Chains A and B, each alone.
Chain A
Amino acid sequence: MSLSKEEVLHIAKLARLTLTDAELEKYARQLSGILEYVDKLKEVDVAGVEPTAQVTGLDNVWRNDAVVGCDDETRSKIVENFPEKEGDLLKVKAVF
């Protein structure tokens, strides 16, 4: 399965990545190589086989939908990590 540069650009956009021209070429080549390897999955007869999303066999694990709160120290450490802030508020570029 060979990927075109256009396809790689499309994937990069979905993944919120930008690539240089050199990277575009390199990734097109490398991703195609990996996809070629995983193509061997096509050899397997999967008719009627249920997909496995998780291996624990667990069903829904519930908890109460209740506010637990956060201690001040943890809260201040989280705020400290904000790359840009105004007071205690996280500052970002406008969405629109």
Chain B
Amino acid sequence: MKLNELTIAAAHEGLAAKKFSCRELVAACFDEIRAHDGKVHAFLEVFDEEALARADEVDKKIGRKDSIGLLEGIPLAIKDNILIRGHIASAGSKILENHSAAYDATVISKLRSAGAIFIGRTNMDEFAMGGSTETSAYQKTGNPHDPTRVPGGSSGGSAAAVAGNMCIAALGTDTGGSIRQPAALCGVVGLKPTYGRVSRYGMMAMAASLNQIGPIARSVADARTLFHAIAGRDPLDAVTVDKPLDESFNHPVTLKSLRVGIPKEYFIPGMDPEIERAVRALGNKLGKAGCEVKEVSLPHAAYGLAVYYVVMPAEISADMARYDGIRYGVRHEARDLIGTYENSRSLGLGDEVRRRIMLGTYALSSGYYDAYYKRAMQVRTLVKKDFDDVFRSVDVLLTPTTPNVAWKLGEKFDDPVTMYLEDIFTVSANVAGVPAISVPCGMKNGLPIGAQFIAPQLGEEKLFTIASSV
């Protein structure tokens, strides 16, 4: 196995045992990037000099026989909307083409302290708005399984980098499925933590009540390792929770103790029957392994996407107000100040971003606030309640992650609603604030299929336990 194909656990073991050097590990990732990223375009920028210098520092430490932590020397790829001090962070947008991060995001500081090495920033849908990474203002990313197809989005670059063995693991962000959906399409593991588990400080905001940063990795164990490294209360993000990471610490979770619910509303007409077959087969497998598996219902499931496409654009219209060409990024000056705002935003922001800003502005505007935003917030209560109710009789839910496997680049790009429907199985977890993970569970004609597990708030350990068994 090549060094860049290792998991975090195996890479750590190899480094500690001096089977290879950290420089060799990091160089192997850069070799893979050089060999294949010309076709895949996962990375916007690689930090080769800096990463190799950091690798040398780790090697010196190993040489001194100092013990190294689990993440020390591990090459990670970071989504372009997470701030790494001194590096460009552009959120896949032209408006931030020249914006260099003035500080580290909290997750980055934590990973830095753990000794991880950031090897580059990955491509994404512009400001995380999209499900295919096609709205990036810079480049389109291909799926490593078939580069003529999408990797999913918005964390498509991170998912492709992991699936393409161009890094050991990566960070993405998830507002409506942007970690889980590309993980499913690329055949890797992606976790969206409980809302509030991971600090959003230093992550560019996209819908403040829905967003989370999370890991994308090649194994569930790796996702767990990364999650543990980045989670925790942060005074710089007021919504972070101060709860133990493994809430079942005193009562370890065993596979057989988990009751699995399969919500009937998550198998819809028009979805790929091969995906339904694979997920139901997984349900049967879990049943044979000793889990209680049963059909359940989330009565408001059909409304989750509509709630999302009102609440998310509304919040975005506020989050995006700061990109006005004034304090950072690209300014397109006009005769007056308002003109400067309008020019900078209209020239610097892409189509999908402007569409969502306008949708949100409309939903919040006088005369429409009650009909759209307030109503969506009320239905949000009902969607969340469905999860609270169902988790009284089961411990985790099993659903497909996406209705389709990776489609061709350009195929779904023209109609916004067609693209939005690809999020249909993932959005409800963000709406309810519950954690969810996607794991590979099969293939269709060489294209990966992902299964999603959803747990109650703070239930990540349940997810890791059941997902490891797949």
Given A16-B341, A55-B209, answer yes or no on A83-B195 (Cβ-Cβ < 8 Å): no
Nearest-Cβ distance from residue B311 to partner chain A, whole angstroms: 9
Residues of B within 8 A of A53 (CB): 209, 377
Q: B416 on the interface (CB 8 Å rule)?
A: yes
B155 within 8 A of A: no
Knowing A17-B342, A61-B238, A80-B100 touch, does A12 contact B358 (C-beta < 8 A)?
A: yes
Asked if A38 and B342 sit within 8 Å, CB to CB, the answer is no
How far is the CB of B162 from the nearest CB of chain A, in Å? 28
Q: Which residues of B contact A31 (CB under 8 A)?
A: 355, 358-359, 362
Find chain A residues with CB under 8 A from B339 CB. 93
CA distance A81 to B358 in the complex (A): 27
Q: Which of B241, B361, B374, B420 contacts A51 (CB 8 A)?
A: B374
Contacts of B303 in A (CB 8 A): 40-41, 43-44
The reply to whether A34 and B309 contact each other, CB–CB distance below 8 Å, is: yes
Is B412's beta carbon under 8 Å from chain A? no
Cα-based distance from A8 to B342 in the complex (angstroms): 15
B396 within 8 A of A: no
Question: Do B327 and A38 have beta carbons less than 8 Å apart?
Answer: no
Residues of B within 8 A of A83 (CB): 325-331
Residues from chain B with Cβ under 8 Å of A61 in the complex: 238-239
Interface string of A1-24 (1 = CB under 8 A from B): 001000110011011111100000
Q: Which of A12, A51, A77 contacts B378 (CB 8 A)?
A: A51
**Interface size band for B:** 35 or more
Partner of B417, one of A37, A41, A93, A94: A37
- A14:B361 contact, CB within 8 angstroms: yes
* Smallest Cβ-Cβ distance to A54: which chain B residue: B209
Of residues 300 through 349 on chain B, the ones whose CB sits less than 8 Å from some CB of chain A are 300, 302-303, 305-307, 309-310, 317, 321, 324-331, 333-343, 345-346, 349
For residue B384, which residues in chain A have a CB less than 8 angstroms away from its CB?
52, 55
Question: Which of A3, A42, A55 sits near B433, CB closer than 8 Å?
Answer: A55
B102 on the A face (CB < 8 A): yes
**Which residues on A sit within 8 Å (CB–CB) of B415?**
33
B446 located at the interface, meaning its Cβ lies under 8 Å from any Cβ of chain A in the complex: no
The reply to whether A11 and B196 contact each other, CB–CB distance below 8 Å, is no
Contact B342 A16 (CB under 8 A): yes
Contact in complex: A56, B327 (CB < 8 Å) = no
The range of chain A's interface size is 35 or more
Is the CB of B382 closer than 8 A to any CB of chain A?
Answer: yes
Contact A14 B331 (CB under 8 A): no
Minimum CB distance partner of A57 in chain B: B457
Instruction: Tell me whether A44 and B346 are in contact (CB under 8 A).
Output: no
- Is B47 at the interface (CB under 8 A from chain A)? no
The answer to whether B239 touches A54, judged by C-beta atoms less than 8 angstroms apart, is yes
Q: Closest residue of chain A to B331, judged by CB?
A: A83
Question: Is the pair B346, A41 in contact by a Cβ cutoff of 8 Å?
Answer: no
Chain B residues lying within 8 Å of A16, measured Cβ to Cβ, are 321, 324, 338, 341-342, 345
Contact assessment for B433 and A19 in the assembled complex, using a CB-CB cutoff below 8 Å: no
B306 touches which of A19, A27, A41, A49 (Cβ 8 Å): A41
Q: How far is the CA of A41 from the CA of B377 in the complex (A)?
A: 10
A50 and B310 CA atoms in complex are apart in Å by 17
Chain B residues lying within 8 Å of A12, measured Cβ to Cβ, are 358
Q: Is the CB of B433 within 8 A of A34?
A: no
Cβ of B379 within 8 Å of any chain A Cβ, yes or no, is yes
Is A46 close to B, CB under 8 A? yes
Closest beta carbon of chain A to B282's beta carbon, Å: 28
Residue A67 lies at the interface, judged by CB distance under 8 Å to chain B: no
Beyond A40-B302, A82-B327, A83-B330, is A34–B209 a contact (Cβ under 8 Å)?
A: no
| Per-residue A-contact encoding for B199-243, CB less than 8 Å = 1, 0 else | 000000000010000000000000000000000000100110100
* 11 sample A-B contacts, Cβ–Cβ < 8 Å, listed by A number: A16-B324, A17-B358, A43-B303, A44-B379, A49-B382, A53-B377, A56-B196, A81-B102, A83-B329, A83-B331, A93-B335
Query: Which 10 A-B pairs give the minimum distances between C-beta atoms?
Result: A55-B433, A51-B377, A83-B331, A77-B102, A46-B378, A81-B328, A61-B238, A93-B337, A16-B341, A49-B378
Q: Using CB atoms and an 8 Å cutoff, list the residues of chain A in contact with chain B.
A: 3, 7-8, 11-12, 14-19, 27, 30-31, 33-35, 37-38, 40-44, 46, 49-56, 58, 61, 63, 74, 77-78, 80-84, 90, 92-95
Given contacts A49-B382, A52-B378, 13 further A-B contacts (CB under 8 A): A11-B361, A14-B365, A17-B342, A37-B420, A40-B303, A44-B378, A49-B379, A55-B195, A55-B457, A56-B195, A58-B238, A83-B328, A90-B326
